[in-house]
């Protein structure tokens, strides 16, 4: 019965425009001929060598040394370039590590095999065996004795010199982008190294890596609109998580005193060069620490990751230089506003009416019901945020916009919270955690009231989370870092889509 239900649901499907063309037709005919001769997609070629390893090991050897050594190799890869010259040909094969040149000739490969090779197309995947040698110009190459077509490519590669440049196609058909653009491959190699370096950092600090639910009954831990899905068996709505925060802190309650999770969050918001609906965050929590410790810890993390991945802490972002190895600036919101707008006095920026006036003059978005802190935050976002190019911690966030953060002991209207801005973008958010269950419950109630008053991004009340706090959360500090934005910074990427393999796109 359930199966019937499933069968009756509409299956998502994609239909691509009819795009057969002369080239594809030609290649289909070639494939048909290959099928008629035998196995068209063989899987018995034994690849023994990678291009980059061969260059590293034998690239410096002389022509004579190579001839004397007679090094037999078996390489495989996609044919990216092809130069046919009658009785001999050159081809460039690309594997995961790089490229190696193949020399195919009547003399070494045989006339029949060479004749067949001439009909191979750019993009085809080849396997070749032969002996290493150096060409006249000194390029390490394989003098091919055997060559086979392993996979016929039916679709042509983009133009060989410019590669794929159309941004939309680079995102939609990332596989084509990856096979043609070294820069794209490099971006995602760096991304992988960044994540690896982060894991190493946390492992060395004795953190436990955990996985908490992606599907939440109550979406919590951030102020954002969630995606909704439906659980059939339980017949109830579920929300894709907007943050793992509340679950990670439950783990600290349970006694895992240092935890982190690197995974996706989902926020049902617009798309931009800085926003993708699913994005990767690391969140981490450590007991018996506060937000000041986190700031120092974050500086260490960023400079270590940069040094490991790029070999330096000095990075160039969109033509401007910054150093992740220097201590980051630390400013309050008011100080940050004054840094770029010194005409405002402390008295003015602490005058509610004055701030509202400024916001109105700037035609800025703000919530009129906000207290001074919330209004200052709106003004900060309007006047200062985009200018914070060098790493800067902004501190003293108002209680009303920080419902999970511990309030200051000296100023009850602000929290022990910071956000880190680099190149004008928010990249991290951390605070001393609110571990007073009664205060937390009151803050949730205030959020619920705001939601009922129409604030779609206000938080839901999570009663079990309050119950967990009632068992006792030790004093704890926690932080989230946007991995995509960090990768943008370290790969000099202008758009978040450039650092996400398959960014969200409107369906074709």
Among residues 61, 74, 110, 139, the one that binds RNA under rule CB under 7 A? 139
d(CA 73, CA 250): 56
Using CA atoms, how far apart are residues 508 and 505, in angstroms rounded to an integer? 8
Residue (189 or 386) nearer to RNA, CB: 386
Task: Give the β-pairing of 208-209 and 258-266.
Answer: parallel
112 near RNA (CB under 7 A): no
CB under 8 Å to 325, separation ≥6 — which residues?
Answer: 303, 306, 307, 313, 314
Binding segment for RNA (CB under 7 A), chosen from 156-164, 286-294, 335-343, 474-482, is 156-164
Q: How far is it, in rounded angstroms, from Cα 43 to Cα 149? A: 11
Confirm or reject binding of residue 16 to RNA (CB under 7 A).
Answer: no
What 3-state DSSP class applies to 82?
strand
CB of 84 vs RNA, minimal distance in Å: 5
Selected from 57, 65, 166, 296, the binder of RNA by CB under 7 A is 166
232 near RNA, rule: CB under 7 A: no
Interface stretch with RNA, choices 100-108, 408-416, 460-468, 483-491 (CB under 7 A)? 100-108
Q: How far is CA 6 from the centre of its chain?
A: 34
Binding of RNA at residue 448 (CB under 7 A)? no
With contacts defined by CB under 7 A, name the span among 130-138, 292-300, 307-315, 369-377 that binds RNA: 130-138
135 binds RNA, rule: CB under 7 A:
yes
The dihedrals phi and psi of 331, each to the nearest 5 degrees, come to -140, 150
Q: Which token pair is 414?
A: 């602000």
As a whole number of angstroms, the distance between CA 138 and CA 131 comes to 15
From the list 137-145, 438-446, 452-460, 475-483, the region that binds RNA by CB under 7 A is 137-145
Minimum gap (Å) between residue 16 Cβ and RNA: 12
* Residue among 443 and 497 whose Cβ is closer to RNA: 497
Rounded least distance, CB 307 to RNA, Å? 28
Told to check if 115 binds RNA by CB under 7 A, we report: no
Query: Minimum Å distance from CB 73 to RNA?
Result: 16
Is 61:69 a contact under the CB 8 Å cutoff?
yes
Give yes or no for residue 167 binding RNA (CB under 7 A).
yes
Report the alpha-carbon angle 431-433-434, nearest 5. Answer: 130
- Residue 19 binds RNA, judged by CB under 7 A: yes
- Of the candidates 39, 70, 112, 136, which one interacts with RNA according to CB under 7 A? 136
Build a one-symbol-per-residue string for 64-93: x at contacts with RNA by CB under 7 A, - elsewhere: -----------------xxxxxxxx-x-x-
Nearer to RNA by C-beta: 468 or 499?
Answer: 499
Could you count the other beta carbons within 10 Å of the beta carbon of residue 393?
23
Question: Which long-range contacts (C-beta less than 8 Å, at least 24 apart) are formed by 379-386?
Answer: 379/337, 379/349, 379/355, 380/333, 380/336, 380/337, 383/337, 383/340, 383/341, 384/333, 384/336, 384/337, 384/339, 384/340, 384/341, 385/336, 385/421, 385/424, 385/426, 386/424
In terms of DSSP H, where are the helices of 162-244?
167-172, 174-180, 182-204
Q: Which is nearer to RNA, 270 or 311 (CB)?
A: 270
Binding test (CB under 7 A) with RNA, winner from 169, 229, 357, 360: 169
What CA–CA distance (Å, rounded) separates 68 from 64?
Answer: 6
Cβ-based nearer residue to RNA, 28 or 231: 28
Question: Quick one: 107 or 413, whose CB is closer to RNA?
Answer: 107
Rounded-to-integer distance, Cα 385 and Cα 249, Å: 29
* Start-to-end Cα distance in the chain: 34
Is 264 or 275 the residue whose CB approaches RNA more closely?
Answer: 275
List the one residue from 40, 47, 74, 106 that touches RNA (CB under 7 A). 106
Contact between 360 and RNA by CB under 7 A: the answer reads no
- Count of residues interacting with RNA (CB under 7 A): 60
Please choose, out of 8-16, 133-141, 222-230, 463-471, the segment that lies near RNA by the rule CB under 7 A: 133-141
Which are the contacts of 77, defined by CB distance < 8 A and separation ≥ 6?
Answer: 51, 93, 94, 95, 99, 100, 125, 126
Within 366-425, the residues that bind RNA by CB under 7 A are 386
State how far the Cα of 488 lies from the Cα of 31, in Å rounded to an integer. Answer: 41
Q: Which stretch binds RNA (CB under 7 A): 152-160, 243-251, 319-327, 393-401?
A: 152-160
Residue 355: how many CA atoms within 13 Å on its side-chain side? 28
224 interacts with RNA by CB under 7 A: no
| 208 near RNA, rule: CB under 7 A | no
290-321: buried (b, 16+ CB within 10 Å) or exposed (e) per residue? Answer: bbeebbebbbebbbbbbeebbeebebebeeee
Identify the three-state secondary structure at position 349: helix
Is residue 269 close enough to count as binding RNA by CB under 7 A? no
Q: Which residues here bind RNA, judged by CB under 7 A?
A: 17-19, 21-23, 26, 30, 81-88, 90, 92, 101, 103, 105-107, 119, 121-122, 133, 135-137, 139, 141, 155-169, 171, 270, 272-273, 363-365, 386, 494-495, 497, 505-506
């Amino acid at each position: 019965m359930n199966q019937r239900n499933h069968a009756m649901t509409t299956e998502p499907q994609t239909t691509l425009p009819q795009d057969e063309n002369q080239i594809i037709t030609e290649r289909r005919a070639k494939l048909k001929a290959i099928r008629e001769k035998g196995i068209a997609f063989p899987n018995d070629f034994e690849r023994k060598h990678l291009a980059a390893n061969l260059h590293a090991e034998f690239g410096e050897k002389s022509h004579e040394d190579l001839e004397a050594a007679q090094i037999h190799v078996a390489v495989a890869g996609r044919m990216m370039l092809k130069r046919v010259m009658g009785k001999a040909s050159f081809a460039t094969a690309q594997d995961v590590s790089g490229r190696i040149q193949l020399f195919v000739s009547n003399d070494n490969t045989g006339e029949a095999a060479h004749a067949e090779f001439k009909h191979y197309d750019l993009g085809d995947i080849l396997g070749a065996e032969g002996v290493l040698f150096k060409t006249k110009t000194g390029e390490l190459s394989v003098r091919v004795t055997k060559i086979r077509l392993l996979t016929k490519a039916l679709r042509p590669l983009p133009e060989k010199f410019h590669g794929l440049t159309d941004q939309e196609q680079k995102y939609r058909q990332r596989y084509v982008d990856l096979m043609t653009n070294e820069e794209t491959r490099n971006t995602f190699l760096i991304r992988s190294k960044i994540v690896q370096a982060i894991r190493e950092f946390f492992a060395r600090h004795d953190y436990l890596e955990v996985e908490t639910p992606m599907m939440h009954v109550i979406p919590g831990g951030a102020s954002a609109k969630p995606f909704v899905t439906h659980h059939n068996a339980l017949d109830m709505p579920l929300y894709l998580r907007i943050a793992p925060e509340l679950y990670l802190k439950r783990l600290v309650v349970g006694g895992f005193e240092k935890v982190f999770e690197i995974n996706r969050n989902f926020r049902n918001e617009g798309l931009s060069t800085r926003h993708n609906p699913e994005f990767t965050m690391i969140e981490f929590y450590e007991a018996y620490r506060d937000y000041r410790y986190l700031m120092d810890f974050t500086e260490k993390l960023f400079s270590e990751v940069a040094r490991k991945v790029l070999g330096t802490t000095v990075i160039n972002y969109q033509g401007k230089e910054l150093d992740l190895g220097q201590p980051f600036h630390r400013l309050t919101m008011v100080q940050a506003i004054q840094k770029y707008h010194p005409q405002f006095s402390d008295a003015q920026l602490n005058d509610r009416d004055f701030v509202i006036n400024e916001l109105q003059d700037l035609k800025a978005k703000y919530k009129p019901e906000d207290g001074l802190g919330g209004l200052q935050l709106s003004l900060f976002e309007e006047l200062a945020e985009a200018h914070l190019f060098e790493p800067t911690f902004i501190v003293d966030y108002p209680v009303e916009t920080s419902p999970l953060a511990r309030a200051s002991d000296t100023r009850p209207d602000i929290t022990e919270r910071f956000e880190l801005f680099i190149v004008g973008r928010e990249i991290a958010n951390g605070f001393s955690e609110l571990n007073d269950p009664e205060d937390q419950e009151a803050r949730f109630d205030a959020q619920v009231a705001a939601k009922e008053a129409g604030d779609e991004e206000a938080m839901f009340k999570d009663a079990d989370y309050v119950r967990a706090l009632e068992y006792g959360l030790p004093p704890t500090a926690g932080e989230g870092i946007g991995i995509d934005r960090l990768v943008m910074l370290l790969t000099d990427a202008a758009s978040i889509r450039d650092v996400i393999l398959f960014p969200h796109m409107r369906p074709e």
